[in-house]
């Protein structure tokens, strides 16, 4: 049940364009929102994705290739991205795109084999995980956060849709 | 609680690019999926959105402006788009983009006033709804279906993520 590396890289390569299409130049009222205390609004999502490109996905891939499960992953601080409030969304989009592109070039250059995808690392909380699982998680993590951005945007019209609300699952999750 | 028309049109105008960034040229295994019997996969979503551009949103806007709530909306058949299996995703993306663009140009040309947004129409199931609610629903309906595409794509790696699954809400909805 290993992911196809080429497919995974294809999907990962699209996320910056998807988020740009959704968020670039959008009035701030659409992005200055969250789903509740401690949750991410769109700028937080971008900060979190940028932080993941810097400290999470590729460092963990390298660690598995270099040390297997002998050394656990460094725990990832999902809020470790610092304040993003005063950074324009465009700047965050550019930075995410740049880092993602470089990381995918690095991973593509590894030409990961099926036996490498089966190599195990050690997650500080989840225990043993494979490189293939890490790669699949990177993909789904992206899609999960794009869905979060869509929920936050939808909530802006949560009341404005009136009685249609009950047909719109995204407002009721 | 009326939506801002300019903002609504801005968000509506982006959906074709968002779906294109997600789906263009993606291997068929990513789009030939659904969430269960009778649910939409990505090509169905595109077919449904195209059908809505043709028969739902703008015809209902026109009906409210012309007849108010004297005549109910024509019921919308959410499966009325016919088979999409043998249509390339690119063709569906192009068609959706073309229709959406024309519809937004039409609505922009109406220069809808606040009093027009408060006009009422009659939904066959929900009863009285306003033009503003219809416009807000159009927006959230888009975001809802993009989120559906993301869920279907994520499910492809539902097993491949291994123990990470419990951190990935999109796999557990």
Q: 3-class SS at A28?
A: helix
The pLDDT confidence band at residue B158, using thresholds 50, 70 and 90, is: very high
Helices and strands counted in chain A (H then E)? 7, 2
Quote the pLDDT of residue A84. Answer: 87
Average pLDDT of span B19-43: 88
Cβ-contact B52, B141 below 8 angstroms: yes
pLDDT in tens, chain A (173 residues): 789 999 999 999 999 999 999 999 898 888 777 788 888 999 999 999 999 999 999 999 999 999 999 999 999 998 899 888 889 999 999 999 999 999 999 999 999 999 999 999 999 999 999 999 999 999 999 999 999 999 999 999 999 999 999 999 999 87
Q: Alpha-carbon distance B144 to B42, whole Å? A: 12
**H, E, C per residue of B43-101:** HHHHHHHHHHHHHCHHHHHHHHHHHCCCCECCCCCCCCCCCCCCCCHHHHHHHHHHHHH
Quote the pLDDT of residue A148. Answer: 96
Count Cα atoms within 13 angstroms, Cβ side, for B113.
3
What is the token pair recorded at A77? 């601080």
Q: Which contacts qualify for A83-90: CB closer than 8 Å, 24 or more apart?
A: A84/A43, A84/A44, A84/A46, A84/A47, A85/A43, A87/A43, A87/A47, A89/A23, A89/A24, A89/A26, A89/A31, A89/A42, A89/A43, A89/A46, A90/A24, A90/A25
Quote the pLDDT of residue B63. Answer: 98
Contacting residues of A for B162, CB less than 8 Å apart? 129-130, 133, 136-137
Q: Which of B164, B171, B173 to mutate to test the interface with A (most CBs of A within 10 A)?
A: B164
Question: Does B2 contact chain A (CB < 8 Å)?
Answer: yes
ipTM: 0.96
Question: Does A155 contact chain B (CB < 8 Å)?
Answer: no
Q: Which helix (H) or strand (E) holds A14?
A: helix A5-23
Q: Which of residues 11-30 of A touch B (CB under 8 A)?
A: 11, 14, 17-18, 20-22, 26-27, 29-30
Question: Do the chains contact at B140 and A26, CB–CB below 8 Å?
Answer: no
DSSP result, B16-39? HHHHHHHHTT--HHHHS--SSTT-
Question: Do the chains contact at A170 and B14, CB–CB below 8 Å?
Answer: no
**Nearest-by-Cβ selection for B144 from A30, A154, A160:** A154
Q: Which residue of B has its CA nearest to A16?
A: B21
């Amino acid at each position: 049940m290993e992911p196809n590396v080429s497919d995974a890289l294809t999907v990962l390569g699209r996320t910056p364009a998807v988020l740009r299409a959704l968020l670039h130049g959008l009035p701030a009222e659409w992005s200055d929102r969250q789903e509740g205390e401690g949750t991410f609004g769109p700028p937080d999502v971008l900060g979190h994705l940028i932080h993941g490109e810097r400290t999470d996905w590729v460092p963990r891939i390298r660690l598995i290739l270099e040390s297997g499960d002998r050394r656990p992953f460094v725990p990832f601080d999902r809020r470790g991205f610092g304040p993003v409030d005063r950074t324009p969304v465009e700047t965050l989009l550019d930075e995410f795109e740049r880092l993602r592109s470089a990381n995918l070039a690095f991973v593509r250059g590894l030409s990961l084999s099926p036996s490498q995808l089966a190599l195990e690392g050690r997650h500080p909380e989840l225990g043993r995980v494979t490189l293939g699982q890490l790669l699949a998680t990177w993909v789904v993590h992206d899609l999960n956060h794009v869905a979060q951005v869509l929920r936050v945007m939808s909530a802006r019209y949560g009341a404005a849709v009136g009685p249609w609300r009950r047909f719109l699952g995204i407002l009721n999750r």
